[in-house]
Chains A and B, each alone.
Chain A
Amino acid sequence: MLHLSVTELAAELSRGAFSSVELTRACLDRIRRRNPQLNAFITVSEESALAEAAGADRARAKGDTRSLLGIPLAHKDIFCTRGLPTTCGSRMLQHFLPPYDAGVVERLREAGAVLLGKTNMDEFAMGSSNETSFFGPVRNPHDPEKVPGGSSGGSAAAVAGGLCPMATGTDTGGSIRQPASFCGITGFKPSYGRVSRWGMIAFASSLDQAGTLTRTAADAALMMQAMAGLDPRDSTSVDRPVEDYVGEPGRSLRGLRVGVPLPHFTGGLGAGVEQGVRAALGELEKAGAELIDIDLPNNHLSVPAYYVVAPAEASANLSRFDGVRYGYRCEDPKDLEDLYTRTRSEGFGDEVKRRILVGTYALSAGYYDAYYIKAQRIRRLIRQDFARAFNEVDVIAGPTSPHVAFAHGAKADPVEMYLEDIFTIAVNLAGLPAISIPAGYDQGLPFGLHIIGPDFSEARVLGIARQFQQLTDWHLQLPRDTHLPRRAREGAS
């Protein structure tokens, strides 16, 4: 049953083919077997998972038909879970037990999902390879020598490796979509404001957005239907109706205008990925979509602008980790200065410290205008680029990442690592919804097709991705060593 999608599992559970307890047990068994190598989970909560599963089975027996009832779920360890350790991949929060649940955690629980545990991630979501976690690197289920991408690498590896059928992630500059691409699964980032940030540990508040990691776009739609909506505890969450993501896709591929951004096909894009992405676009064209070349003239400024805005916000967001109230505290501080200095030096890893320093510098007197203000100006230009493009096209599509998963330790230079997100970052700066869906293999490793929609066009983006997955079976190809049966494509006749 571990090879089934959420949509299929929901049907099987409701048919009574197996119980949630059986399904949950199967996930826990697989985690026990595979996690020592993949390191996808930081915390596994067997007891509570089985209790929740038993509760779901009882509820179903009484006629409960909630969409995600009894389906196992993993949360990225950035979402606070009441009474379950929430580390954010950091030593700073190694023993942190939140007395509250994140908004996303509440909603998925209310939808009936069973929480298996918390997944590994780059420390404070800062990284693109999942190598910065205090709890060790995550390995790519397709090839353990390769990284799974980051920062939601644990969630991506867990889903790709069949450890759980669905997981949450967060995406600040590509942290859902890039690992989805590297692990051959579907990763969806909604518009900024669509999903509550309450209880989600902040990296860069104006860019962070919660989303989904699943095998299929239909599964992403199911999760999103539960997660989306106004949360009055998050002032940036948006008060507008949640569309139907699960029903028939409203937008057919016939006549769909797909923008193909020139800047995404130049420079560092690998030949194999380019070929594969063009083939995927060809599939859309065959189905009646019109491909239109577009320019995003300021795209090249997105990485530098991002690496001012995100570290600036992070430098303030991470000030609260000071050893005073909770979290890591250094041994025997001799005075206040010493408490701050050693707590933060010892509690944070190098990448986090680097970004705090960059952000602090960018906000400092005399540099603020040159960096922060300029970056905000670029951000407006990037938003305008997209707005202009969406006057002509319905969605924009291209590669998620310039290449497939790379080897552990291959990107030692931070700037080289920052360029990983060159196609995804602009989307966060503009606050748009986007998805990465499996689109092929290069050198035996998967890569994704990136589809971007205008503000709050979640239903459109998910609908197009679902239709693409009816035409292709890349999303059904599981890692070789998972020993799970390969399956027929969903909806194919």
Chain B
Amino acid sequence: MEWETVIGLEVHVQLSTRSKLFSGTSTAFGAAPNSQANIYDLAMPGTLPVLNGEALRMAVRFGLAINAEISRKSVFDRKNYFYPDLPKGYQTSQLEFPTVGRGAIVIHLDDGSEKEIGVTRAHMEEDAGKSLHEEFATDSGIDLNRAGTPLLEIVSEPDLRSAGEAVAYLKKLHSIVRYLDISDGDMSQGSMRCDANVSIRRPGAELGTRTEIKNVNSFRFVEKAIHYEVRRQQDVLEDGGTIVQETRLYDSVRDETRPMRGKEVANDYRYFPEPDLLPVVIDEELIEQVRAGLPELPDARRQRFREEFGLSDYDAGVLTASREAADYFEQTASACGDAKLAANWVSVELQGLLNRENLSIAESPINAPSLAGLISRIKDGTISGKIAKTVFEHLAGGETDVDELIEREGLRQVTDTGEIEKLVARVIAENAPQAQQYRDGRQQVLGYLVGQAMKLSRGKANPAQVNQLLREKLQP
């Protein structure tokens, strides 16, 4: 019998404010331990929280981007538990009245179809610090630099039906928060963290008992963790067992999930409204102000790239996945006037280079105007597509002036008919048997002869002219 997988994700996104959610301390990453913790972050007695308005605007920005309800009044609550990296002994979060209510995110599946995934809510909360166990022999160290960093916890509906959909949703979320410039979404640095709620059921049946997989820190691990967990649950149920509702950790080394120990799981957080903060009132004016500043989002841009540039849905999807790539492409396409060539060069050659060098597009050694220059020279016939790759390598090496380097390196395509006639005559002379075969009707030999001519010209001859002249000369 078939099993259906049901997944809901809880994603913590670290908001890229300059200061913490309730204090003026810097949130910059990588500072010396505890150098970014003020008296509030240390929970010194008598200190009080003041909400960071920028974090609130970022939450609203996200809400508007996913067409969610924005709560006119949201309330912070205290979530109580003891842990050394939680200085106040409670985390300030939002339970009943989150800033962002119900919304939706559209994901694109591999078969080209679209699916809408419900977002239940997104609430603001503060991050905890870090416990450092490695560097100390018998004790643990505490670094409170991260304590109080603003997080947006985005909770999805259990609308995802496979690990692949879960990853597509995560990637889309990643793309949205980066477009909105509210987070760098870097999973390896923990700026985006994912908990997955996984259950299985017979199609059409009630929801099965779920388990929660905590803190999975890469797209690939999310996929693997869900795969493992689904298989585990199938085995349990098919052996006549029952699923225990529990929290599990994914071990990427062993590629398995296992239950967290009892002590790691607090059971009663005793939430109650944070009396040190008034309810957050969001008025129409703030909402409209934030709305006015919203950028074009990935889905809209994808649609526009298809319509405006005539790109395939796939190409448009690839190019709009990141805002930086889309910007780069758009700049290149406008400058060179050929969107299809631009799409090809950006998503194949440039992407290949960046992957090899392990660089982001923002760090690309070739800027968009240079790449557009190169494409323009292909378009106007100055260089051939093949020679263009040589030019590209020069650009990758740090050169920027396309025309200067074409001249200097003598890469200009040969289009002089006299030159090409000489070349063709030489090829026919040196390859007499093949020339004869063509005259005898074996049309496919022409390709070989063109190749020989291109080789002789070291790629610089215009292949279309070579082709044309060869046909004429070999006319029976």
Contact = CB atoms under 8 A, between A and B. Distances in A.
Interface in B248-289: 268, 270-272, 275-278
Interface stretch (B42-50, B98-106, B230-238, B354-362): B42-50
A218 interface: no
B89 A368 contact: no
Interface in A343-382: 360, 363-365, 368, 372
What are the nearest 8 A-B pairs in CB distance?
A: A319-B89, A363-B270, A205-B275, A206-B275, A320-B43, A199-B46, A201-B45, A365-B268
Contact of B268 (A236, A364, A372): A364
Nearest to A193: B278
Nearest to B49: A235
Interface residues of B, number: 28
A326 B44 contact: yes
Contact of A102 (B46, B49, B270): B46
Contact of A324 (B84, B272, B275): B84
B385 to A, nearest CB: 63
Contact of B50 (A79, A202, A232): A232
B110 to A, nearest CB: 43
B278 A336 contact: no
B64 interface: no
Nearest to B22: A235
15 contacts: A98-B44, A102-B46, A202-B276, A205-B275, A233-B48, A235-B51, A235-B277, A316-B80, A319-B82, A319-B89, A322-B84, A325-B87, A363-B80, A363-B271, A363-B272
A421 interface: no
Contact of A322 (B47, B89, B268, B277): B89
A2 interface: no
Contacts of A321: 45
A322 B46 contact: no
Contacts of B48: 197-198, 233-236
B190 to A, nearest CB: 22
Given A316-B90, A319-B89, A319-B90, A80 B45 contact: yes
Interface string B37-77: 00100111111111100000000000000000000000000
B50 A98 contact: no
Given A316-B272, A319-B80, A201 B46 contact: yes
A235 B53 CA distance: 13
Interface of A: 79-80, 86, 88, 93, 96, 98-100, 102, 197-202, 204-206, 232-236, 312-313, 315-316, 318-322, 324-326, 336, 340, 360, 363-365, 368, 372
Nearest to B23: A233
A5 B18 CA distance: 50
A326 B47 CA distance: 14
Given A205-B276, A232-B50, A324-B84, A88 B78 contact: no
B224 interface: no
B39 A99 contact: yes
A316 B46 contact: no
Contact of B87 (A100, A320, A368): A320
Contacts of A206: 275
A464 to B, nearest CB: 30
Contacts of A201: 45-46
A324 B141 CA distance: 10
A174 to B, nearest CB: 19
Contacts of B272: 312-313, 316, 363, 368, 372
Nearest to B83: A336
B142 interface: yes
Contact of B278 (A235, A316, A324): A235
Contacts of A88: 45
B276 A100 contact: no
Nearest to B142: A324
B125 to A, nearest CB: 15
B43 A325 contact: yes
Contacts of B42: 325-326
A235 B84 CA distance: 26
Interface string B134-167: 0000000010000000000000000000000000
Contacts of A340: 82
Contacts of A234: 48
A234 B46 CA distance: 10
B88 interface: yes
A39 B82 CA distance: 35
Contacts of B84: 322, 324, 336
A240 B84 CA distance: 39
A102 B46 CA distance: 8
Nearest to B277: A235
A202 B142 contact: no
A205 B78 CA distance: 12
A445 to B, nearest CB: 34
Nearest to A361: B270
Nearest to B43: A320
A289 B45 CA distance: 45
Nearest to A336: B84
A100 B90 contact: no
Given A235-B277, A340-B82, A364-B270, A200 B39 contact: no
B61 to A, nearest CB: 22
B84 to A, nearest CB: 5
Contacts of A205: 275-276
Contacts of A93: 45
B212 to A, nearest CB: 18
- Among B49, B270, B271, the one with the most A-chain Cβ atoms within 10 Å of its Cβ is B270
Which of B51, B78, B142, B277 is most buried by chain A, counting CB atoms within 10 A of its CB? Answer: B78
Given A313-B275, A319-B80, A320-B43, A235 B89 contact: no
Nearest to B80: A316
B82 A100 contact: no
A81 to B, nearest CB: 10
Contact of A235 (B50, B80, B82, B90): B50
Given A316-B272, A319-B80, A363-B272, A200 B277 contact: no
Contacts of B78: 316
A326 B82 CA distance: 16
Given A100-B44, A198-B48, A364-B268, 17 more contacts: A80-B46, A86-B45, A99-B44, A102-B46, A198-B46, A199-B47, A204-B275, A205-B276, A232-B50, A233-B50, A235-B276, A316-B80, A319-B80, A320-B87, A320-B89, A365-B268, A365-B270
A144 to B, nearest CB: 31
Nearest to A231: B48
Q: Which of A86, A312, A325, A365 has the most CB of B within 10 A?
A: A325
A315 B48 CA distance: 16
A319 B275 contact: no
Nearest to A206: B275
A321 B39 CA distance: 14
